[in-house]
Structures are given as structure tokens and as C-alpha cells.
Amino acid sequence: MVCYTTGMQPSDSPANIPKREVIQRELIKETSERLSRIDAEFADGFEFINKYNDTVSIFGSAMPWDEHNEQYQKARDLAKLLSDDGYSIVTGGGNGIMEAGDRGAQEAGGHSLGLNIMLPREQGLNPYTTDSMTFRYFFTRKVLLAYGAMAYIYFPGGFGTFDELFEILTLIQTKKMPAAPVILMGSEFWTGVDLFIRTYMLKEFHTIAEQDLDLYHITDDIMVVKALVDEHRDKASPLASPEATEVTPLSQEDLLLGEQ
């Protein structure tokens, strides 16, 4: 007996074509609605952050720490110090280090800006923000946390903190954003990361260049942080003289003296 085949797949049968078209139309509609939400979130976010000058973004763990935690208290003190000098503090709006940053800024009478995110657990807006916006999408929130900041300060944190850190380092390294201080607060935590970068990324696998090590600073001293941020603000100011835009970066000796 001879068998003949038509070459048609079961999914190509006429009965299935209308269902496939319905699914395609639903996907197109859903994509269009999602793009509209993303566009609106970006527009609202830029409008929100552009109300404030000289922003400094602070990142770190969302664990429910309080003033009895050393890193929490240091973030609180740093935000207070920066706010006293006119900086607006930007955080993710949640618990832990984010709360500490907002709390210090609020206590100093400054701007504490919380860019919150809708999550099924862990994240809720802390009570110390003076202004806030809630995001649906992580990537739009990350853009606004990075947008136009005078400096990026990272306290010990988890995967989210590392994600935000290496994104900023990559953008500066590839010159997709202007250079700005990237400061890692807490040498006990960050020295291990620095060792990994130097040992494996630089020396063993050659995946970065020697000059990439200059993209970040590690310190425990909030006065060193303020010096780095102030230096960058002076250079970035539109009123700065040509000489000011060529300020020599703080030397390692200067940084060490600041930590004494």
C-alpha cells in the first residue's frame, strides 16, 4: 500500500490558523500597552528627578537594619553630612541602607528622594522620604537612580547592589555616561570584591584593563566621601573656571590622610 503525505504540520491546519492569529493580535496589543506604560514611567521619572539639583545616589542592603547596625548608622551620618552641604539624597526608598540614607537627609532638613519598586515581598516605602515615586519596572527605576547623579555610593548589599554597581562601572568604563565618583563604603566588605577584580579579572583572565581599577574608591571614612563628591561637583559646575575643570584627582595619600 502506498502512503502519500501532504507536508502539512498539525499546527498548519486551517482549524488552527484563526487561533494563532488571535494569539498574535493579543501579543501585539499587550506589547503596545506595555510600551505605553514604560514610556509613561520614564517620562514621570525624569520629571520627578529633574526637580532636584546635585543628587547623590546611595545603594545598599534592604535588610531591616536600624541605628544599632554600623553600616546603617554610617549611611545615616553620610546622608546628613551631604545634605548639610546642599546635596539631594536619592535611594531605592526601601529598608536598610536606603532607609538610613533617607533618614539622614530628612534629619538634616534636606531632600530624601525614594525611588520605590513594586515587589511581592521585602520592599515598602520607608517613612523618611520627603518625596518619592513608585516604579513598576526595575530597568526604568535603575535608569533614574543613575541619571545625572554627582556620585554613586555603595554600602554592603546583595545581588541588587552588585547589579547596580557593575552597571554604573560599565557605563562609565564604556563612556556611555559621564565619569563620576563610584565609592564603596566599608572596606571589610568590599576588599574581597576588589581582590577578586584585581586577581582574576585583571591579572589571571585579563578581562579588564589596569586603568579600570581607577573607576572606584574604597573607604570607611565619610569625610573622604564628601571630599570626592565635592571635588566632582566643583569640576562639573557650569560656573567652574577652566582651571577648576582640571583639578588633579585626590591622591592615595590624601585619601589615607582623610581616613586617619
Q: How many CA atoms lie within 13 A of 46 on its CB side?
A: 5
Distance CA 18, CA 170 (A): 46
- Helix, strand, coil shares of the chain, percent, nearest 5, are 50, 10, 35
Task: State residue 38's pLDDT score.
Answer: 97
Express as a percent the part of the chain with pLDDT over 90.
Answer: 77
Q: Cβ neighbours of residue 84 under 8 Å, at least 6 residues apart?
A: 108, 110
- The rounded mean pLDDT for the chain is 88
β-bridge partners, 132: 114
H-state helical runs in the chain: 17-49, 70-84, 97-107, 138-146, 159-173, 187-196, 222-236, 252-258
* 49 within 8 A of 148, measured Cβ to Cβ: yes
Q: What is the mean pLDDT of each run of 10 residues along the chain (260 residues)?
A: 50 64 89 96 97 97 95 98 98 97 98 92 85 96 95 97 98 96 98 98 98 98 98 79 41 41
Predicted confidence (pLDDT) per residue in 89-110, tens digit: 999 999 999 999 999 999 999 9
What is the dihedral angle through the alpha carbons of 116, 122, 127, 132, rounded to the nearest 10 degrees? Answer: 0
Task: State residue 222's pLDDT score.
Answer: 98
Cell of 70: 554600623
* 56 within 8 A of 82, measured Cβ to Cβ: yes
Domains along the chain with CATH numbers: 50-258 (3.40.50.450)
Task: State residue 14's pLDDT score.
Answer: 53
Task: State residue 9's pLDDT score.
Answer: 53
Distance CA 157, CA 96 (A): 9
Task: State residue 257's pLDDT score.
Answer: 39
Cell of 196: 577578586
Amino acid of residue 201: M
Task: State residue 248's pLDDT score.
Answer: 39
Predicted confidence (pLDDT) per residue in 47-70, tens digit: 999 999 999 999 999 999 999 999
